[in-house]
Amino acid sequence: MFNLEDFRLLCADLNVSFDDLAGPSDPLSLRANKLIEYFQRRQRLRVLLLTLQKQRPALTWNQIYLEPGETASVSLNLPPLIISHPPLSDSDTSIANRSFMALLQLVRRPETHEAVVSFQTDFEAASDQIDLMNNYKLVHDLFQELENRYFLIENDRKRLPDDDLAWDSLAINEPELSSKIDDLLKTPYQAAFALEAAAWLQQLEKVKAETQTAVENSDLDALNKAIRLLYRIINRQPSRINAQLVLAANTLRLDNLEKAITLICANIDASDFSGELALITQIKQGAGALSGIDVNLHKLTKEHNAWQAIDDELRRVEATLDSGITELEDAWYDLETMTQDLLQGHEEEWAASIQEVSHSLGEAIAEGIIVKARRLFRRFRSQTGRRFRQVDLELLSLCHNLQKVGESLDLLLRTVK
């Protein structure tokens, strides 16, 4: 169906690097699998399928099934996409996705086509930004898996040199660690992110090689060196990647998409779209959904940044606790205010717990009770860290759900080109 040159052209049409999909001597079938994985990770399999349909319209595509969670089929005078239909979700991202998919059905009408073209630059920018956010999220998730493997290796390392059986356990766990490093090394990165990732990717390659050699030779000194480097990477890079994800989320201009939907709805209201009431209703719901996503996204990024600032300060203070609480006393003037600002308006259990330990910690600091202050500080850090992780998970979940909006935007853009 596709020879090597055809596949190169397909990759170019999809804006995917042919060379990044596999090694120079790998077969075409492996590259094809890597391409599918690339779009699957980004929840944009429909974009791949639509492009294949356009390039090979004479072939039969109606036996292809997409994963559960897809929405209504795209009607573009192409063979239908056969999909499973779960119950419709009422989340803002699902409503926005259905809105753009409904718009796709009417995009050939002049009233909608002209409006889509006029906002094409905004649609492209939003699609690219959503894809970038997903790239950061993918790497964040891979680092989480790597960190889980690191803890297994670290637990084995701590048993040495007293327990020689730890080397047997390391021989089992080391390949799993190497596999997670390979996942990060083989992930295709977008151009801007690739430059940023180059340094820690090189360090991860070094960790992989040195850990393998250390375990094979039962060399504890070499193992200690490799694991220290790995700890340094996973202690720094995930937070930096998170910061980049938050920055990308803050620059996502969903308000421009909302304006586009509003203009399209005005054009629809001024025209005769009888017989398309269900699609029109879905399109009109999109503006409100995009507004809701925008509010939630900015709320989460703002709270995320605030907890990040507190976490950074707590890390700095914790490093000085063994020598006293002078740094804690100085830092508490800012930390207390920063915490109270975040707790304002929250009556949930997590907020009450942080409020209680914050009050007790403040009293211990004022009374100069060092042992008590240290104990309460660690409890305070644990509870604020738990809330920080919860906000982080909510932000990552929203970024994940936004990928379906990104896919529908891609489909819309490919239709008007």
**pLDDT of 339:** 96
> Cα separation of 211 and 213, whole Å?
5
> Cα separation of 22 and 30, whole Å?
7
The alpha carbons of the chain give a radius of gyration, in whole angstroms, of: 26
Using an 8 Å Cβ cutoff, are 215 and 171 in contact? yes
> Cα separation of 367 and 268, whole Å?
69
**pLDDT of 62:** 60
Q: Roughly how many angstroms between the first and final C-alpha of the chain, as a whole number?
A: 25
Owner of token pair 């690219």: 128
DSSP per residue, 168-219: HHHHHHHHHHHHHHHHHHHS---HHHHHHHHHHHHHHHHHHHHHHHHHHHT-
Which amino acid is residue 333, in one-letter code?
Y
> Cα separation of 4 and 11, whole Å?
11
Q: Could you give the residue ranges of the DSSP H alpha helices within 81-119?
A: 92-105, 110-118
> Cα separation of 310 and 314, whole Å?
6
> Cα separation of 257 and 158, whole Å?
53
CB atoms within 10 A of CB 28: 13
Using an 8 Å Cβ cutoff, are 2 and 13 in contact? no
**pLDDT of 191:** 67
Using an 8 Å Cβ cutoff, are 98 and 401 in contact? no
**pLDDT of 273:** 74
Kindly give the confidence (pLDDT) of every residue in the chain, 417 residues in length, as a single tens digit, with 9 standing for 90 and above: 788 888 888 888 888 888 877 777 788 888 888 888 888 877 788 888 888 888 887 776 665 655 444 433 333 443 343 333 334 456 899 999 889 888 888 888 887 888 888 888 998 899 889 988 888 888 988 998 999 999 999 999 999 999 999 999 999 999 999 999 999 988 877 666 777 788 899 999 999 999 999 999 999 999 999 999 999 999 888 888 888 888 889 889 899 899 889 988 888 888 877 778 888 889 999 999 999 999 999 999 999 999 989 998 998 898 899 889 999 999 999 999 999 999 999 999 999 999 999 999 999 999 999 999 999 999 999 999 999 989 988 988 898 889 889 988 988 888 876
Is the omega angle on the peptide bond into residue 238 within 30 degrees of 0, that is, cis? Answer: no
> Cα separation of 22 and 16, whole Å?
12
The three-class DSSP label of residue 22 is coil
Tokens of 85: 């239909």
